[in-house]
Chains A and B, each alone.
Chain A
Amino acid sequence: MQDRHLLARIDACRPGSDDYLDAGLAPLSEELAESRTARSLYDRIQALDQAVGQAMENVAVPPGLSERLLANLAAAEGARAVEEAAPPADVAATLPSPAIDGASRRRWVRWSVGMATAAGIAALIGAYWAIPRPLTPAQIADQAVAYYNQEERETAQPIETVKPPDGYPISRYVYRLPGTRWRPVHGFLRRNLSGVAYDLVYRGAAATLYVMPQQSPSLPNAPPQRIGAATGNRALAAWQEGDLLYVLVVEGDERTYQSFVRRTAVG
C-alpha cells in the first residue's frame, strides 16, 4: 500500500509544475531525490494528471451561447435603465398632487416615460451592435488560413479509438477516411469560436476540416467543386450545414481538394 501522506503530497503537485519544491510539501523533494519508488509514483501521477487536465477542458460549447448571453445582458441592462428612469418612491411622494398642479405632473410623467422608452430602445440597439456580425467568405478564408498556419496538430486523437464530442460531425460532403484524427479547437476565426478539427490524410495528402457552431449566411450550403486558384499550395473551402460552419483546408491544389470532397451529400 502506498504511503497516503506521500500520495497526498504528490497529488498536491500540479502537472508540469515545480510544486514539489513547496516548503509546505516537505520532505517531498528529498523523497523524490532519494527514492526511485517515490519518483516513479510521482511520474505516473503527473502523467495521469496531464491526461485528466486535458480532458477537463474538452467540453463542447453550445451553439449561439455568446449571442444568447449578450441578448440577456442587454435585456437586463434595459430593464435596469427603465427602473432607474422611474421615479423612486420617496421622490414620487413629494410630487405635487394633481389637484395642486396637474399640468406639471403630466409633464413629469411624459418626460419619465419618454426617458424609460429611450433607455430601453438604446439597450436593444446596443445589444444588436454588440453581437458579432457574420464574417464575409473572404474574411473566413483569410482567418482560417492564418489559424491553420499557427496550429499544432500533435494532440489529435484517432476517431476509431476516441469518439469526438457529439454535435460536431464530419460534413456529409467529406469522405470518411481511415486514420482520421480529431482534436478540440479554440479561438477559431478570431472570435473565440470553439469546436472540433478533423485531420484527414488521403494518399499522402493532408487536410483539416474545422467544424464550428457558427451561422455564416453568406456561405453556400455545400462545398464547391471548383475553388479556383489555391494559395500558398493550400486549397480552402467554407460552407454552412445547418448550424455548423465547415472550413476545409487542404495541403495541395484543387485536384487534391476534390479527392476529399464528395459531389453529393451522404446521410
Chain B
Amino acid sequence: MMADSPLRAEVARLVVEHHAALYRYAYRLSGSAVNGEDLVQQTFLTAQAKLDQVRSAESVRSWLYAVLRNTYLKSRRKRGPIAAADLDLMLEKVPEQLPEPLLVDPEELQAALDALPEEFRVVVVMFYFEHRSYKEIAQQLGLPAGTVMSRLSRAKSQLRLRLFPAEAQSSRPKSRSRPARIS
C-alpha cells in the first residue's frame, strides 16, 4: 500500500507540507489558477521521480521552488522570447509620503506582476517570495549580478508605480490601466 511504503509516504508528506506554498508561488509566476495548479503538479511529479535529490537537498522547499520555476521558464520559452528591444525604460520617483495604512491589494499586485516582462517577473517573485538575495537570484538564473540588480530595481519601480498610484501620480502622471514598460 502507498501509505505503508516509506517512499510513497514521503511523497505524500511532501505534498501535504509544501503544496500551499508552491501553489502561491506558481500563481504569482503564472498569474493563473489553472496554470498554477499544473505547475505544482509537474513539480511534485518531478519530485516523485527524483526523491534522492529531494532527500539530499539542503532545503526541500527551495529545491521544489527551483523545479517549479524551471518548469515555468521552460514552458514560457516554448512561446518564444520577449522582444526586449520594444520595451521602454522608466524609472520613477519613490513616494515621499507613504500611504497609511500601507496595504497592497493582492489582486492588484497580480495585475502588476502580469504586466511585467517574464524575466523581470521571475526576478521580482524570487526576491519577494523566496526572500533570495540578488546574488542568489543571479546564481540560480545563471545571470550576472549586475543584470539582476538592474532588473530587480526596474521591476520594483513598476510595481510601486502601479500599487501606490496616488503617490506615483504626484511625481509622474500616468494611467493605472497602462503600466509603463521596462527593459
Kindly supply a per-residue 1/0 record for chain B positions 96-117, scoring 1 wherever the CB is within 8 Å of any chain A CB and 0 otherwise.
Answer: 1010011111100100000000
Q: Is the CB of B1 within 8 A of A122?
A: yes
List the one stretch of B4-12, B57-65, B66-74 in contact with chain A. Answer: B4-12
B181 proximal to A (CB < 8 A): no
A127 within 8 A of B: yes
Query: How distant is B93 from chain A, measured CB to nearest CB, in Å?
Result: 6
A51 with B145: in contact, given A69-B19, A77-B48, A126-B5 (CB under 8 Å)? no
Whether A205 is near chain B, meaning CB under 8 Å from some CB there, is no
Task: Please classify how large the interface on chain B is, using the bins under 10, 10 to 19, 20 to 34, 35 or more.
Answer: 35 or more
User: Which secondary structure characterizes the binding site on chain A?
Assistant: helix
Q: Is A55 an interface residue (CB 8 A)?
A: yes
A12 in contact with B153 (CB, 8 Å): yes
Q: Number of A interface residues at 8 Å Cβ cutoff, please give it.
A: 59
A57-B24, A157-B103, A186-B20 are contacts. A41–B94 as well, Cβ < 8 Å? yes
Q: Does A47 contact B11, Cβ atoms closer than 8 Å?
A: no
Shortest distance from the beta carbon of B69 to any chain A beta carbon, whole Å:
15
Q: CB within 8 A of B103: which of A51, A61, A192?
A: A51
Contacts of A192 in B (CB 8 A): 16-17, 19-20
A194, CB-defined interface residue at 8 Å: yes
Specify which of A7, A55, A77, A157 is in contact with B109 (CB 8 Å cutoff).
A55
Q: Are B2 and A162 in contact (CB under 8 A)?
A: no
Among A53, A76, A77, the most chain B Cβ lie within 10 Å of the Cβ of: A77
Q: A69-B15, A130-B3 are in contact. Are A62 and B8 (CB under 8 A)?
A: no
Interface: A248 (CB within 8 A): no
Q: Write out the residue numbers on chain A whose beta carbons fall within 8 Å of the beta carbon of B1.
A: 122, 125-126, 129
Q: Mark A126-156, 1 if CB is under 8 A from B, else 0.
A: 1111101000000000000000000000000
Rounded to whole angstroms, the CA-CA distance of A56 and B119 in the bound complex is 17
Contact at B149–A56, with CB atoms within 8 Å? no
B contact face: mostly helix, strand, loop, or mixed: helix
Contacts of A73 in B (CB 8 A): 11, 15, 44-45, 48
A77 to B82, CA, bound (A): 37
Annotate A65-86 by CB proximity to B: 1 below 8 A, 0 otherwise: 1101110111011000000000
Q: What is the distance, in angstroms, from B161's C-beta to the closest C-beta of chain A?
A: 11
How many residue pairs bridge A and B at CB < 8 Å? 164
**Residues on B with beta carbons closer than 8 Å to the beta carbon of A24:** 134-135, 145
Query: Would A55 and B48 be within 8 Å (CB), given that A8-B150, A48-B98, A130-B9 are in contact?
Result: no
Q: Mark A90-127, 1 if CB is under 8 A from B, else 0.
A: 00000000000000000000000000000000110111
User: Given known contacts A76-B48, A126-B8, is B153 in contact with A11 (CB within 8 Å)?
Assistant: yes
Known: A51-B103, A52-B104, A73-B15. A59 touches B27 (CB 8 A): yes
Q: Answer whether residue B169 sits at the interface, using C-beta atoms and an 8 A cutoff.
A: no
From residue 97 to 154 of chain B, which have CB atoms closer than 8 A to chain A?
98, 101-106, 109, 125, 127-129, 131-135, 145, 149-150, 152-153
A-side contacts of B150, CB under 8 Å: 8
Name the residue of chain A whose CB is nearest to the CB of B43.
Answer: A69
The complex places the Cα of A107 from the Cα of B114 at a distance, in Å, of: 59
B128: min CB distance to chain A, Å: 4
Supply 4 further A-B pairs (C-beta < 8 A) apart from A48-B94, A56-B109: A55-B105, A59-B28, A129-B1, A192-B19
Chain A contact residues, CB within 8 Å of chain B = 1-2, 4, 7-9, 11-12, 14, 17, 19, 22, 24, 41, 44-45, 47-59, 61-62, 65-66, 68-70, 72-74, 76-77, 122-123, 125-130, 132, 157, 161-163, 165, 186, 191-192, 194
Q: List 25 A-B contacts (CB under 8 A).
A: A1-B93, A7-B91, A8-B150, A11-B152, A12-B149, A44-B94, A44-B96, A47-B98, A49-B128, A52-B128, A52-B159, A53-B128, A55-B109, A56-B28, A61-B19, A62-B33, A73-B45, A73-B48, A74-B2, A123-B2, A128-B2, A161-B103, A186-B20, A192-B17, A192-B20
Closest 5 CB pairs of A and B: A126-B2, A129-B3, A55-B104, A130-B12, A11-B153
